[in-house]
Amino acid sequence: MSYSILIVDDSLPMRSVIKRTFKAAGYGNSDFHDAANGKAALELMKNDWIDIVITDYNMPVMNGLDFIKNIKKDDLFKDIPVVVISTEGNEARIKEFMECGAAGYITKPFTPETIRDLITDILGEASYDEDLDDSDEDFDF
Amino acid sequence: MMKILMTAMKTSISEVMETMFYLPVEFKEESTLSQSKLDENKPNMICQLEFSGDFSGYVTLLIPEDLLFEMTENFMGESLEHLENEHVEGTLTETLNMICGNALSRVDSKVPFELKIPKVIKDSKIVESGLFTIIETPQSMMAINITAL
C-alpha cells in the first residue's frame, strides 16, 4: 500500500535521509512531499492529501510545535498522524509535543530501525514485495 | 557548568558521528587551533549555534572540508559528484544541531533549552582565539568550542 508522506525539516540532507529511510523500510511506493518549515507545510497540505506528517521541531518561520498546533485545530487535518523527529530529547519537551497531539517522537540521531518501527506501528506493516524499490539503498534492517 | 556541558557534548558527538556518519571518534585535550594538529593549509568549514536556558552560550564546530564531504556522502548515501553545496552546508548545520540538541538534553535544567538555527560562518578569523576540543576521526580531525554568553 502506498501513502502520501510529508517530511518537514529545514535541513535538505535530513529530509533526504528520512525519505531514504522510509524507502528502505518498505514505503518506497509512497508519494513523498517535503517542506522546509511548518508554514510551507500547511500551504502544501491545502493542495495535497497527506496520510502522515514527519516534522522537525527547530525550524525557521514556523517551528514544529506551532505546526502541530495548527494541524490539530484544523478539522480537515486534525486526524493526520504527526511524528516529531528532533534533536530535542528533553522529557518536558517531548511531553509538550505529545500533549499537543503528536503520534510519536523520535530523537536525532536515530537509527533507520527506530523510524521503521514507529511508522509501522502507525501505518501498518509495509508491503515489501510491492514497495521495496530501493535496490541501491544500503540500510540493513 | 560548561564542563558538564562539554562532557555531555562529547557523549553526543560520539553518538552522532557513529550513528549518522559511521565514523568513530576519539577526543584529544583542549588547545587553540594553531596549537592543534589541524592542517592549516586545508580549507575548513565553520558553523555556530546559539542556545539559551538555565545558562546560555554558543557552540562553534569546525570541520575540514574533505572530512565534511565524506560525512555528507555517508549521511546522504550519495557519491560526491551528486552533491551540491547546499547538501554539504546542510550536513554541517545538521551535525551541530544534532550534537547540541542531544547534549543539552543530557544536562539537568529547569526548563528545556532553546536552540537557535545553526549558521555557517564564513569568517575564519572568529575561531583564531579560544580553546577547542579536538576530535579525531579515522580520516581527519575536527574541533568544537563552547563559549558562555
Range in A65-69, B94-98, B130-134 the model is least confident about: B130-134
Predicted local confidence at residue A140, as pLDDT: 42
pTM for this entry? 0.88
Q: Chain B contacts of A60, Cβ < 8 Å? A: 117
Amino acid at A29: N
Predicted local confidence at residue B109, as pLDDT: 83
Burial of A58 (0-12, 13-18, 19+ CB in 10 A): buried
Q: Chain A contacts of B107, Cβ < 8 Å? A: none
Predicted local confidence at residue A135, as pLDDT: 46
Amino acid at B9: M
Preferred mutation among B98, B107, B120 to probe A, highest tally of A CBs within 10 A: B98
Percent of chain B with pLDDT over 90: 68
Q: Which three cell numbers stand for residue B18?
A: 557513529
Q: Mark yes or no for CB contact B94/A11 under 8 Å.
A: yes
For residue A86, what pLDDT band results from cuts at 50, 70 and 90?
A: very high
List of residues 6+ apart from B91 with CB closer than 8 A: A13, B68, B71, B72, B75, B76
Mean pLDDT confidence for A31-55: 96
Kindly report the average pLDDT of chain A as a whole number.
87
